[in-house]
Amino acid sequence: MSVTHLNMADHPIEDESFAVACRRRLETDGALILRQFFTPDAIDKVVRDSAPFEGSAFYAGSTHNVYLTEVDPDLGPGHVFNRQVASSKGLIADDQIGADSPLRAVYENPIFRAFIARVVDVETIHPYADALSSINVHYAARGMELGWHFDNSSFAITMLVQAPERGGIFEYVPGVRTAATGDNAYPRVGRILDGKEHPMTLSFDPGDLVMFRGRDALHRVTPTQGDVTRILVVFAFNDEPGIRLSDSALTTFYGRTA
């Protein structure tokens, strides 16, 4: 069966052997890129749908630690846990993405979900139970960036919609911490923040599907350069049903709770 909007000739996501090969690549490299996963027509529609929302995106314009938590005053301001980085990009939430969007069609497609579950090696994957967090579109105009961080979700799936002229580079260091064991990897995080350990970069084009283990990989996106806004979709899934972000997290990320 084919999935509308997807290039299944190059990416036979229904084949178990293809999914297993993808899983191995994700495990070995900490990241996986499926080139030209979305069809050109789907990308064109997503660009046309997304561009008008740039002005209504929410720009938190805040600083945060790499763990995306409140600071811990007991540790003091110089501690790696409390070091602040800047994120200036904006985003729109799931409830601002149209019912007719190719993004929604793919996100909800059972074949796509079964493939993602196989690649990340879980039984089933689930959308967020809140109305905002499942599909997000990010906007980074000239000078805007996403600071170093670890994701809340165990894995992240992104798709670049519109590439900037320059900048907007995705940098990452895979497997820095093991969130499952509560290890915060302070020494290594400190070295990366100080520029003493150099990250890897991933280069991808509009329509490519990108998967990485963002909960344990420290990653950032460098400032956009030039007049073209970097636009990127994030598909978020959980390995348990019923997960919702807290009201305070929703307010931080989206400026609202519903």
Ligand X SMILES: O=C(O)CCC(=O)C(=O)O
Q: Which residues contact 28 (CB under 8 A, 6 or more apart)?
A: none
What distance in Å separates the CA atoms of residue 216 and residue 60, rounded to the nearest whole number? 24
Please tell me the distance from the alpha carbon of residue 155 to that of residue 211, in angstroms, as a whole number: 7
Q: Which does 138 bind (CB under 5 to 8 A by kind): Fe ion, ligand X, none?
A: ligand X
- How many whole angstroms separate alpha carbon 160 and alpha carbon 123? 27
Among 46, 157, 219, 254, binds ligand X (CB under 6 A): 219
Stretch of 30-38, 179-187, 213-221, 246-254 contacting ligand X, by CB under 6 A: 213-221
Smallest distance, Å, CB 247 to Fe ion?
Answer: 21
- Distance, CA of 147 to CA of 145 (rounded, Å): 6
In sequence order, what are the residues at sequence separation of 6 or more whose Cβ sits closer than 8 angstroms to the Cβ of residue 52?
Answer: none
Q: Applying CB under 5 A, does 214 fall inside the site for Fe ion?
A: yes
User: Is 146 a residue that touches ligand X (CB under 6 A)?
Assistant: yes
DSSP annotation of 51 reads G
Work out whether 158 is an interface residue with ligand X (CB under 6 A): yes
What residues from 230 to 249 belong to the interface with ligand X (CB under 6 A)? 232, 234
Residue 170 touches which member of ligand X, Fe ion, none, C-beta under 5-8 Å by kind: ligand X
Please select the residue that binds ligand X; options are 94, 130, 145, 151, rule is CB under 6 A: 151
Among 170, 235, 237, 253, binds ligand X (CB under 6 A): 170
Calculate the alpha carbon distances from 125 to 55, 87, 218, 235 in Å.
Answer: 32, 28, 23, 12
**Contact range with ligand X by CB under 6 A, out of 3-11, 150-158, 174-182, 242-250:** 150-158
In the complex, the residues that contact Fe ion under the rule CB under 5 A are 151, 214
